[in-house]
Every structure is written in C-alpha cells, then in structure tokens.
C-alpha cells in the first residue's frame, strides 16, 4: 500500500449526514426515528469508518486527505436485499401477453415465465451468465447499491443451480459490491418432475448438502405460492435447510394469502418477502417476531398488483426492508431508488422509513448487519453521495438517478 493510500480520508462539509446509528434491526415506529447530522463529516481509515461527527472535529486529522461534500446529502450505501441476479435471456415476449390480461401464474403454467428463463439459463455458459450479472451489478452500483443479495432458482437441476451460485461466488470474490448468496432451487417445479414432486424434493435435499459442503450459499428461500409450493412442502424443506445451518427466507403471500408469512415466523426465518396478499392476522404475527418484511414495490408496479400494506405493517410494529426483486419476469429493473420512491409515494412510508428499509433493515435481512447499513465507527465505509440538498428532495425528484458518488470500503467506485 502506498503512503497516500495509508492516509486517512476525511469527507466534510456534508449538508446532511445520515448515520442511522443504533439498533441493527428497526421495527415499527423506530424506522422513522432517523435524524441527520448537519454539517457532518466522516473519517475513513483502511476502508472502515473511524469517526463521524458534525462541525470541525475532523481538523485534528492534519495529515488526512480532505474532500468537501458541500451541499450534499450522504447516506449509507443502499443494500438490495432481494434479487434474482443471475439468469440468461429476457422475457419481453411476455409483456404483451400480460397486457392482454394473462396472469403471471397462467404464463408460468403454460411453460413460460420462470420456466422459460430456466431453459435459457441451463443452456447458457458460465461465462455468459457471469458477464450478464456483472453488467447488472454495474448498473446497480450506478444507482447506489453497494451490497446485493442474489438468489439462484433458474437452474432447477443440480448442475445449473451450482453454476448460478458459482457465478455469484466469483462476483463476490471480485467485488466491489458485497454479495450474499441464497439457494432458491425451490423456485418452481421443473417440467420433468411434474408427476413426481417427491423426487424433486429429493434432488433439492441433495443440493442442500452439496451447497453446504461447498459453502455456496448462506440463505435458502422457497416460492410458497398457490400452484407452486405449498405451506407444508415449504415447512418441511426449510426445516431441513435450517437443521443444516442455513438461514431462511420465504417468497410469501405474493399472489395469494397462503400463510407464508405465518410460516416465516414459525420457522424464525430472517425474512418474509413480497407479502402483497398476507392477512392482517399474519402481518400481526410478523410484527411480534424479528422476521423482516421485505417489500418489493417494483414487482407490484410491473405486475399491476396492489402495493404491499407497508403503512399497516409498520404501524403493527413490523421491521420493513425494501428491495428491487430484480428478475427477468416480474421486475426487470435495477432501480432501487424507484422502489424507495414508490414506497413513499404509493405505500405511505415516510422518507426516513424508506431510507431505513434499504440500509439498516436491508443489512439485517441480508445477514450483513455487523458491517453494513449504518455509518458507525468500525463499520465498512460504504456510503453514497446524493445530488439532493435534503432527503425529501430525493423522493420528490422521482424516476431519475440521484446518486452522484458511491464509496465502498472507503474506495470511490462511482
């Protein structure tokens, strides 16, 4: 390391600096309890936050490199806690079918939807998948996303699921973003197992052992949905995953109120995701647990569905995170900022809640809370500089990219 790299870096004159100090999980009313430092500064040493404060306290670091961020708002790097990052091809051919009234599940039943991406992903080489995902990550980075959870689930056979997870492992090793891997072989029942669900679960079980052995994923997720996987199938499969030491996530109540959210609390899953159709009773169960509600407004928008009841969830006391659900079918967009803006403009969340939902709670939903999501001393110096004089402006100027600069572990990456 050259002496210059060894130096401290001080970012000062920050108009509003959001640290989001305190608890690594923010539930209910604590989500909006977020106050910025005015005229703030951040001191970075070896990729970590050394000190944050306001005023001139940084002047004692005489030998540091100084950078003024006058007039800007600085927030922790955004964490996209639900994506289907690795896949091949695209599905623009389904757009007109959807517009003519065919539902997402009807398209899936006819062999399209997830299953058509599965066919393309099986055929694609490691390199093709890697290059596509690399491009996606770069696009996410430009929107301020410094950490990404990535689900498999477009292989639905051992070889291709492992291929997807290995692509994530390579991307993770290369950086700059931090990646968290989720095995989602239970994304759909592949055609060849149509008459033999048992056999598919036997394959998934085998995959769990293999993935554990090779340390290719820390989470396991399942699509618990009418016509996909039932609550009892999900309970059994996730139960085994938990025994093997995986953390759990569930695609729950996306289209129908099957009870996935309640199952998530029963299994102490880290998160229940989607939740468009959950009953109020199940949302209250969620509120009395530490399971995080990961909401995906871009998917509601794109599938022309109602938005999740974020306001009620937070008022009940839930911890809410927001994510893009980036995937080729129900959310072909990397724009997490737009998800945040929908949360405020359409789901009645406050700007502070939306910020908490992509930082503190998203870190927790991704198992990254020890190092990410807050700008406290000792944590990774992942932060973004917004071209916005205040937080409200960020939500008001919707649909464009308001991220000006991005830092990961203290290094400027945009």
Taking every pair of Cα atoms in the chain, the longest distance, rounded to a whole number of angstroms, is: 71
Name the token pair of 47: 């990729």
Q: Judged by CB under 6 A, which stretch of 112-120, 170-178, 353-361, 390-398 contacts ligand NIG?
A: 112-120
| Least distance from Fe ion to the Cβ atom of residue 82, Å | 6
Comparison of 63 and 92: residue with beta carbon closer to ligand NIG: 92
292-295 β-sheet, strand order: 78-80, 145-151, 178-186, 219-224, 247-252, 271-274, 292-295, 320-322
Rounded Cα–Cα distance for residues 152 and 250 (Å): 13
| Least distance from Fe ion to the Cβ atom of residue 274, Å | 7
> Does residue 176 have a cis peptide bond before it, meaning omega lies within 30 degrees of 0?
yes
Residues 64-103 that bind ligand NIG (CB under 6 A): 84
Q: Judged by CB under 6 A, which stretch of 17-25, 238-246, 325-333, 354-362 contacts ligand NIG?
A: 325-333
Rounded Cα–Cα distance for residues 322 and 132 (Å): 24
Comparison of 271 and 327: residue with beta carbon closer to ligand NIG: 327
| Least distance from Fe ion to the Cβ atom of residue 268, Å | 21
291 binds, among Fe ion, ligand NIG, none (CB under 5 to 8 A by kind): none
Would you give the DSSP letter of residue 253? Answer: S
Q: Say whether residue 117 binds ligand NIG (CB under 6 A).
A: yes
Comparison of 326 and 383: residue with beta carbon closer to Fe ion: 326
| Least distance from ligand NIG to the Cβ atom of residue 251, Å | 5
As a residue count, the chain comes to 414
Residues facing 365 on adjacent strands: none
| Strands 411-412, 78-80: pairing kind | unpaired
| Least distance from ligand NIG to the Cβ atom of residue 412, Å | 33
Binding string, 294-313, against ligand NIG, x = CB under 6 A?
Answer: -----x--------------
| Least distance from ligand NIG to the Cβ atom of residue 107, Å | 9
Binding string, 189-228, against ligand NIG, x = CB under 6 A?
Answer: ----------------------------------x-----
Please compute Rg for the chain using Cα positions: 21
What are the CA-CA distances from residue 3 to residues 11, 46, 48, 411 (Å)?
19, 12, 17, 15
| Least distance from ligand NIG to the Cβ atom of residue 81, Å | 12
Name the token pair of 250: 């569930």
Helix (H, G, I), strand (E, B) or coil at 387: coil
Q: Where on the chain is the footprint of Fe ion (CB under 5 A)? A: 325
Per CB under 6 A, the list member of 166, 254, 369, 382 interacting with ligand NIG is 254
Comparison of 145 and 298: residue with beta carbon closer to ligand NIG: 298
Applying CB under 6 A, the site for ligand NIG has a residue count of: 13
Give the H/E segment covering residue 14: strand 9-17
Contact 328, 90 (CB under 8 A): yes
**Nearest Cα to Cα of residue 409 among 29, 48, 64, 96:** 48
The torsion angles phi and psi of 95, rounded to 5 degrees, stand at -60, -45
| Least distance from ligand NIG to the Cβ atom of residue 104, Å | 7
The torsion angles phi and psi of 256, rounded to 5 degrees, stand at -140, 155
Comparison of 223 and 316: residue with beta carbon closer to Fe ion: 223
Comparison of 40 and 153: residue with beta carbon closer to ligand NIG: 153
E strand segments, 307-393: 320-322, 383-386
Q: Judged by CB under 6 A, which stretch of 47-55, 257-265, 320-328, 339-347 contacts ligand NIG?
A: 320-328
Q: Say whether residue 249 binds ligand NIG (CB under 6 A).
A: no
Per CB under 6 A, the list member of 190, 260, 328, 351 interacting with ligand NIG is 328
73 binds, among ligand NIG, Fe ion, none (CB under 5 to 8 A by kind): none
Q: Say whether residue 251 binds ligand NIG (CB under 6 A).
A: yes
Q: Which residue has the tokens 């945009």?
A: 414
Residues that bind ligand NIG (CB under 6 A): 84, 113-114, 117, 223, 251, 254, 299, 325, 327-330
């Amino acid at each position: 390391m050259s002496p210059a790299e060894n130096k401290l870096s001080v970012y000062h004159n920050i108009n509003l600096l959001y640290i989001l100090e305190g608890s690594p999980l923010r539930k209910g009313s604590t989500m909006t309890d977020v106050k910025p430092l005015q005229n703030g500064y951040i001191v970075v040493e070896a990729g970590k936050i050394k000190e944050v404060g306001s005023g001139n306290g940084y002047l004692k670091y005489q030998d540091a490199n100084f950078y003024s961020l006058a007039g800007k708002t600085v927030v922790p790097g955004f964490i996209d806690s639900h994506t289907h990052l690795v896949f091949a091809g695209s599905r623009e051919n389904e757009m007109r079918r959807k517009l003519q009234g065919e539902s997402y599940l009807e398209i899936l039943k006819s062999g399209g939807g997830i299953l058509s991406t599965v066919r393309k992903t099986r055929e694609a080489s490691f390199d093709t998948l890697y290059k596509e995902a690399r491009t996606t990550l770069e696009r996410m980075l430009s929107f301020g996303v410094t950490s990404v959870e990535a689900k498999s689930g477009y292989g639905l056979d051992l070889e291709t699921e492992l291929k997807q997870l290995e692509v994530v492992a390579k991307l993770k090793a290369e950086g700059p973003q931090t990646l968290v891997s989720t095995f989602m072989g239970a994304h759909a029942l592949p055609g060849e197992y149509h008459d033999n669900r048992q056999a598919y679960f036997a394959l998934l079980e085998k995959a769990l052992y293999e993935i554990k052995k090779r340390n290719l994923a820390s989470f396991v997720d399942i699509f618990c949905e009418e016509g996909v996987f039932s609550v009892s199938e999900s309970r059994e499969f996730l139960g085994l995953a938990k025994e093997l030491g995986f953390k759990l996530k569930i695609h729950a109540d996306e289209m129908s109120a099957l009870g996935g959210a309640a199952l998530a609390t029963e299994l102490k899953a880290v998160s229940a995701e989607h939740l468009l159709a959950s009953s109020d009773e199940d949302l209250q169960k969620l509120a009395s647990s530490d399971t995080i509600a990961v909401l995906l407004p871009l998917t509601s928008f794109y599938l022309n569905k109602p938005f999740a009841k974020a306001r009620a969830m937070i008022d009940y006391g839930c911890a809410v995170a927001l994510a893009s659900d980036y995937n080729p079918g129900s959310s072909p967009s990397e724009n997490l900022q737009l998800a945040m803006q929908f949360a405020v403009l359409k789901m009645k969340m406050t700007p502070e809640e939306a910020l908490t939902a992509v930082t503190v709670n998203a870190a927790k939903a991704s198992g990254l809370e020890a190092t990410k999501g807050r700008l406290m001393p000792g944590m990774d110096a992942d932060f973004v500089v917004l071209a916005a004089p205040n937080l409200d402006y960020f939500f008001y100027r919707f649909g464009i990219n308001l991220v000006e600069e991005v830092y990961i572990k203290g290094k400027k990456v945009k």
